[in-house]
Structure 1
Amino acid sequence: MIEAAADITEDAFLGGQLLLRQKRTGHRAGHDAILLAAATQARAGDRVVDLGAGIGTAGLALARRVAGIRLSLIEIDPELAQLARANAATNAIPAEAIVLDVTADAQAFAEHGLVPDSVDAVLMNPPFNDPARHRGSPDQMRHTAHVASEETLHAWVHAARRILRSNGALTLIWRADGIADVMAALSRGFGSLAILPVHGEAGKPAIRVLVRAIKGGRAPTRLLPGLMLNDESVVPKKQVRDILEGRAALPLAEP
């Protein structure tokens, strides 16, 4: 059951094109989810799965940009899944919200119609903070959304690989200093990687990486020019404003 209205906020994304209700406390939707959506390639008719969807931010933002996708929002927390379902309805976006652990086995996925080799595109923003270096939040749901165990990334990539069809694409966002972990997790079954570093400020190291990987792909890995979120004056760059307001996509979303 969704909490009382006082515990829920309604926030505008994509320049007001997407209105999302979310809990006032715990994990809150932000730029990472919007960047992930802007990096995901999809076409009308594609079956798309958002793993660990939360309130549906990334998947619904993608559906707002690419009309006609068949969207499934996978979330372990029933309350967040209910919010995702309500958010899809509020924004008149066809989507199903499924309560399911991303690390569940193939049978659990199949019970929801997600059989092996059946999905065109997967996007995901897994928990990526290292528990050895990150002080977890006392809020359990916020902790679950942010802090990864050693096997988290491998388990999520495995789930994506299982449901993706041959030549289907996985798009993910991860912390930049964990790029080696991403490469290791994608080394089995994926290729044709395209990597986009994301920098918080000009002249500073990247803080995130956006990665697109193709199931069964064989093309060489491509490292794209970095995306700078802010200029030297710490003002959001026009390209970033256009992406966050839903007027543009990232190069990873291009065919």
Structure 2
Amino acid sequence: MATEANLLSTDSVLGGRLTLRQMVSGHRVGHDALLLAAFAPADRRVVVDFGTGVGSAGLAFLARVPDARATLVEIDPGLAALAGENAALNGFGARARVVTGDVASLARPSGPPLPELGAADLVLANPPFNADARHRTSPDAARARAHMADADLLADWTRAADRCLGAKGMICLIHRPEALGDILAVLSRGFGAVEILPVYPRAERPAVRLLVRAVKGRRTPPSILPGLVLSEADGTPTPQAEAVLRDGAALG
């Protein structure tokens, strides 16, 4: 007998440009993955999506950049299987490969054969970012895995990105504003030219997310880009948010 825990929904995002099958309960695709994909420059062609879940960020990038290809990395076998289904569902089967494994093991001799050492020019990273000490863990195991992180995870993912990326490769990540100090610290070990784009729920509110991108091997100081405001005062999407989240426009 089917239960809510094993039911799937089929949902359209990006104004119908992308269709995703995902679990009805647990972690579901939201703005974060779509904003992350929009923040990645379209001149990148070989992409690795860390913590892909059902494939949302990596596949959203492929929908915008038709000659790119992606390796979708997910530690949860069930979500990894859905990522593969979603790649096929959207016609990206020849452009997307799914790897079931821990991001920290990538591009190591003991890790999976893909992605290869130094072969990528873009890493997308949507890491778990609710620190265990400050947030109560969700009783749903998949939701908890997607949202909780230990103190070393961000550094582990940055080191993995460094291994996966070739010279002048780029990492793009999304995180909470309170993690800015940690983000700059870990990126300083091998990355530079950091660009930070704050995301605001409304114009008068503090930022709720930071989009961050950095280039491997660069030493240029960080810069802060004009922010994205998601909603008008009445709750309707702003024109820029609508262009990014519905029309598939690039961001920053």
- Provide TM-score, normalisation by structure 1: 0.93
Deviation at 1:53, TM superposition (A): 0.3
Relative distance call for 1:189 and 1:122 in structure 2 (3 A) is: same
Q: For residues 6 and 141 of structure 2, what CA distance do their matches in structure 1 show?
A: 20
Matched residue type, 1:15? G
Q: 1: CA distance between counterparts of 2:4 and 2:175?
A: 33
Secondary structure at 2:244 match in 1: helix
Query: What's the CA shift for 1:189?
Result: 0.2
1:57 maps to which residue? Answer: 56
Map residues 239-250 of structure 1 onto 2, 5 A cutoff.
239-250=240-251
What is the CA-CA distance between 1:4 and the residue it aligns to?
9.5
1:79 corresponding residue in structure 2: 78
The alignment status of 1:187 with 2:188, answered yes or no, reads yes
Counterpart AA for 2:48: V
2:85 counterpart letter in structure 1: A
One-letter code aligned to 2:61: L
- Alignment-derived partner of residue 42 in structure 1: 42
Q: Is the 8 A contact 1:193 1:220 kept in 2?
A: yes
Give the letter aligned to residue 72 of structure 2: L
Do structure 1's residue 207 and structure 2's residue 214 form an aligned pair? no
Q: CA deviation at 1:108?
A: 3.8
Gaps of 5+ in 2: none
**1:69-218 alignment, distance < 5 Å:** 69-93=68-92, 94-104=95-105, 106-109=108-111, 111-218=112-219
| Pairwise CA distance, 1:77 | 0.7
Give the whole-Å Cα distance in 1 for the aligned partners of 2:72 and 2:114.
13
Aligned partner of 2:21 in structure 1 is: 21
Superposed displacement of residue 219, structure 1: 2.0
Separation (CA, whole Å) in 2 of partners of 1:144 and 1:5 = 15
**Deviation of residue 5 (structure 1)?**
11
Give the Cα separation in 2 of the matches to 1:220 and 1:184.
Answer: 13
Give the letter for the 2:35 counterpart: L
Give the secondary-structure state (helix, strand or coil) at the position aligned to 1:132.
Answer: coil
| Secondary structure class of the residue paired with 1:206 | coil
Amino acid at match of 2:36: L
The residue aligned with 1:11 is: 11
**What is the alpha-carbon distance in structure 2 between the residues aligned to residue 85 and residue 247 of structure 1?**
22
- Kept in 2: contact 1:50–1:72 (CA 8 A): yes
Aligned length: 247
Cα deviation digits, residues 151-198 of structure 1 (max 9, x gap): 111111111111101100000000011111111111100000000011
* 8 Å contact from structure 1 (residues 65, 246) kept in 2: no
C-alpha separation in 2, matches of 1:195 and 1:85:
31
Q: Is the 8 A contact 1:170 1:214 kept in 2?
A: yes
Q: What value does the CA root-mean-square deviation take over the aligned residues?
A: 1.7
1:6: how far off? 6.7
Matches of 1:157 and 1:135 in 2, distance apart? 25
Partner Cα separation in structure 2 for residue 16 and residue 187 of structure 1: 38
After TM superposition, the runs of 4+ consecutive aligned structure 1 residues lying more than 3 A away are 3-6
- 2:5, 2:23 within 8 Å by CA — same for their partners in 1? no
CA offset digits 1:33-62 (Å, max 9, x no partner): 000000011337x21100000000000000
Conserved in 2, the CA contact under 8 Å of 1:76 and 1:101?
Answer: yes
Q: Contact (CA 8 Å) 1:177, 1:207: kept in 2 or not?
A: no
Contact 1:42–1:121 under 8 Å retained in 2 = no
Q: State the 1:130 CA deviation.
A: 1.5
Looking at structure 1, the residues matched to 66 and 130 of structure 2 have their Cα atoms a distance apart, in angstroms, of 33
TM-score (structure 2 length as normaliser): 0.94
